[in-house]
Amino acid sequence: MPQVMEFKLPDLGEGLTEAEIVRWLVAVGDVVAIDQPVVEVETAKAMVEVPCPYGGVVTARFGEEGEELPVGAPLITVAVGAQSLPAGAAEAAEAEGSGEAPRPLIGYGSDHSRPARRRRVRPVTAAVSAPVTAPAPAPVPAPVPALGPAAPAAPAGPVPVISPLVRKLAKDGGVDLRALHGSGPEGLILRADVEAALAALRAPAPAPAPAPAAVSAQGERIPLKGLRGAVAEKLSRSRSEIPDATCWVDADATELMAARAAMNAVGGPKISVLALLARICTAALAKYPELNSTVDLAAKEIVRLPSVHLGFAAQTERGLVVPVVRDAQGRNPESLSAEFARLTELARSGRLAPADLTGGTFTLNNYGVFGVDGSTPIINHPEAAMLGVGRIIDKPWVHQGQLAVRKVVQLSLTFDHRVCDGGTAGGFLRHVADCVESPAVLLRSL
């Protein structure tokens, strides 16, 4: 007899407690291989494809696209064993037939040497059944569930709810799940059904003919969840905990741009301006290590960090994210350029892993790409400082005693005043500006 294994939403790390289903990659009846991705979820940090540690036939799926599930909630069940598979597909679950413990999930602590397979085999519907066996209720014409005394009688048997998150939402809002007709498969009650019921309970009695102004006065409500919710929480914490200050200076970047052009003229991988600025940052942090630190409030200590894990701001369709370049202090401009390009591409495609977005010790923020000169950004908690770079534009500048048109950039440093005083912050920023104005200064500091 095949063994039915339940696969639950795994702990995706970094303190994440829930994830939203974006897209199912398998259906009930599909044959899946070990470590094959079965669902794409969105956490507060990134989009992640979740691989299943079992091989066999998918017998049930839990949760609809757009629904949030807590860590530990069931995702799918898989019938494991060669007997459960159609002819020609038994090899997909052969590794499970021995009864050995499931392999760790790829991407969550396992050996990454074997890539995940995304093979789809023709669905088998005759050998499996849907997770809910009760007869489906009659279809409801209106999308909003009926409530109150006029609601039809509640169906007999258990309430068709899978997600504990949906149950909690209904309980907190005072919604009787027995009075709802679910819009999901087999009458399954979804989060959208509960939210619609809550909206119906809270909505005032409809006016005969509401004026357009009355509707628009309500405004648009955008949930603070997912990435936007995580950003809001981090920025609020930074503002409440960190006594920040900002200093800034204009610098003549003409020589830096000339040096970059000369480096790129000799062939090979192109060097980006961001990579040169990052190399300047790591050299400055070696000279002023106070700014590569964090504050341990519980121990009342400043912790100076041995490595520079450099975060950089990247704008994506999902919003602003800050990927992290590990051990940036040991990279040359060519290596930094390649890593910036790799992480930026992952960010724009929504494929950054949670580990790519955490652990930063210092942030480089190039807001010049938005066509602005200056900013006073909020520090990326729990870091202690952020270097901001404005646009590099032609401006009149006194050079060697003569008025000339030079390429000028505004640099700003926002820092945690607990880790250092203004003298240290000013010294760091001045060293960065000196390297921008005369790249030879950078060579002397290496």
- pLDDT classification of 378: cutoffs 50, 70, 90: very high
pLDDT attached to residue 328:
97
Range of the domain at 205: 164-216
pLDDT at 139 over 60: no
Query: Is residue 104 assigned to a domain?
Result: no
Query: What is the full DSSP assignment across 146-163?
Result: P-STTSPPPPSSS-----
- pLDDT classification of 195: cutoffs 50, 70, 90: confident
Query: Which of the residues 112, 181, 417, 431 is marked catalytic?
Result: 417
pLDDT attached to residue 302:
96
- pLDDT classification of 297: cutoffs 50, 70, 90: very high
One-letter amino acid at 379 equals I
Are residue 381 and residue 417 in the same domain, yes or no? yes
Lowest mean pLDDT among 40-49, 61-70, 101-110, 153-162: 101-110
CA–CA separation, 364 and 385 (whole Å): 9
pLDDT at 211 over 70: no
The answer to whether the predicted template modeling score (pTM) of the entire model surpasses 0.95 is no
Query: Is residue 45 assigned to a domain?
Result: yes
pLDDT attached to residue 445:
61
pLDDT at 300 over 80: yes
pLDDT attached to residue 158:
57
Please, what is the angle between helix 254-265 and helix 273-287, to 10°? 120
Query: Is residue 234 assigned to a domain?
Result: yes
pLDDT in tens, 8-32: 998 776 556 788 888 999 999 999 9
One-letter amino acid at 422 equals G
User: CATH number of the domain that 392 lies in?
Assistant: 3.30.559.10
CA–CA separation, 34 and 198 (whole Å): 41
Are residue 303 and residue 372 in the same domain, yes or no? yes
CA–CA separation, 131 and 124 (whole Å): 15
112 is catalytic: no
Most confident of 302-306, 351-355, 368-372: 302-306
pLDDT at 221 over 80: yes
User: CB–CB of 37/50 below 8 Å?
Assistant: yes
Are residue 31 and residue 170 in the same domain, yes or no? no
Are residue 282 and residue 391 in the same domain, yes or no? yes
Query: What phi, psi does 92 have (nearest 5°)?
Result: -65, -25
What is the tally of structural domains in the chain? 3
Are residue 251 and residue 368 in the same domain, yes or no? yes
Strands 310-312, 362-366: pairing is parallel
pLDDT attached to residue 164:
62
- Whole-number percent of the chain with pLDDT over 90: 47
Are residue 338 and residue 251 in the same domain, yes or no? yes
pLDDT at 338 over 70: yes
Are residue 365 and residue 393 in the same domain, yes or no? yes
Which of 64, 80, 96 finishes a domain?
96
The enclosing H or E element of 195 equals helix 191-202
